[in-house]
Amino acid sequence: MNIFLKEMKSHRKSLLFWSIGIFLMVASGMFKYESLSSSGQPMNEMLGGMPKSMLAVLGIGEFDISTATGYYGLLFIYLLLMATIHAAMLGATIIAKEERDKTTEFLFVKPVSRNRIITAKLLAAFSNILILNLVTFVSSLALVRKYSNGEVVTEDIAMTMAGMFILQLLFMVIGSSLAAGKRKSKSAASLATGVLLLTYVISVAIDLNEDIEGLKYITPFKYFEAKSVMFGGGFEPIFVLLSGVLIAALTVATFVFYKKRDLNV
């Protein structure tokens, strides 16, 4: 419990900044929607003239961005990127920071097992990503509602947020297992972010080229896309299962790797 509270306290500031960042992201995105929709230009027509590959790169795809929810679907990918980058970095640093700050000789000579230390740290990271998720949820709900002209949005947004939370968890344990397994755990955060960006690029590539659709299983960004979750009837069971298995496996890996490693002092 003491380790958990210590971790919560030491990540307080960074969580606050991420929350402000994500709120501003939603706010500025929806503000742009307001100016676009009030300019009177038929947006769909304008977009219709653009090549499909360009739309894919921009993440616009098949959204009807003349509606608030459609526009939010477009915005969602950026929120997802932010939240997962936060999760991956948090998962890696919360494990690696004792070695980075050379505090191993303080914490690991205390009468607690490594398993208990990792449990406390992962719970703290879990709470942090949950809070960031709720902040995103509340800001999205408030701001989309403002522009949605009475359209019911709560359920759609709740679904995307649930999907986002699963991916946050997944990237958190990708980060933590890398930090636990790598001999130089300091570089785990950048490696985890690298994995994240790579899988994101793969997901864009799939949008561009339908021949490689089979790759969708290896990039989490394809698991709970807004276009399918919001407008295509919810989660696909295969992806929920796949994420669940990955999260469980990587959590176990974090514990096993960390228990066995020689700590860098």
Partner 1 sequence: MMNVIEIKNLTKTYGKSRGISDISFSVEEGEIFGFIGPNGAGKSTTIRTLLSLIYPTSGSATIFGKDTVQFAPEIKKEIGYLPSEVFYYDNMKVKDLLNYSASFYKKDCSKRIKELAEIMDLDLNKKIDDLSLGNKKKVGIVQGLLHEPKLIILDEPTSGLDPLMQQKFFELLEEENRKGATILFSSHILTEVQRLCNRVAIIKEGKIVTVEKISTLKENTYKKFKVETKETLAPYYFNLPGVNKLEVKGNLTSFLFKGNINEVMRKIAEIEITNLWIEEPDLEEIFMHYYEKEA
Q: Residue numbers of the site for partner 1 (CB under 8 A)?
A: 2, 6, 10, 101-106, 108-113, 116, 260, 262-263, 265
For partner 1, the closer of residues 107 and 159 by Cβ is: 107
User: Which residues neighbour 161 within 8 Å (Cβ) at sequence distance 6 or greater?
Assistant: 133, 136, 137, 140
Question: Using CA atoms, how far apart are residues 183 and 162, in angstroms rounded to an integer?
Answer: 34
For partner 1, the closer of residues 116 and 146 by Cβ is: 116
Minimal distance, residue 125 CB to partner 1, in Å: 17
Minimal distance, residue 19 CB to partner 1, in Å: 20
Question: Tokens at residue 122, please?
Answer: 């992962």
User: Which residues neighbour 158 within 8 Å (Cβ) at sequence distance 6 or greater?
Assistant: 137
Quick one: which of 99, 160, 173, 97 has its CA closest to 129?
Answer: 173
For partner 1, the closer of residues 45 and 101 by Cβ is: 101
Instruction: Please answer whether residues 57 and 209 qualify as being in contact, where contact means their C-beta atoms are separated by less than 8 angstroms.
Output: no
Instruction: Please answer whether residues 133 and 90 qualify as being in contact, where contact means their C-beta atoms are separated by less than 8 angstroms.
Output: no
Minimal distance, residue 194 CB to partner 1, in Å: 25
Minimal distance, residue 187 CB to partner 1, in Å: 16
Instruction: Please answer whether residues 222 and 216 qualify as being in contact, where contact means their C-beta atoms are separated by less than 8 angstroms.
Output: yes
Question: Using CA atoms, how far apart are residues 191 and 239, in angstroms rounded to an integer?
Answer: 24
For partner 1, the closer of residues 210 and 262 by Cβ is: 262
Pairs from 235-240 (Cβ < 8 Å, separation ≥ 24):
235/159, 235/162, 235/163, 240/166
For partner 1, the closer of residues 159 and 256 by Cβ is: 256
Minimal distance, residue 5 CB to partner 1, in Å: 9
Minimal distance, residue 176 CB to partner 1, in Å: 20
For partner 1, the closer of residues 7 and 156 by Cβ is: 7
Three-state DSSP at 51 gives coil
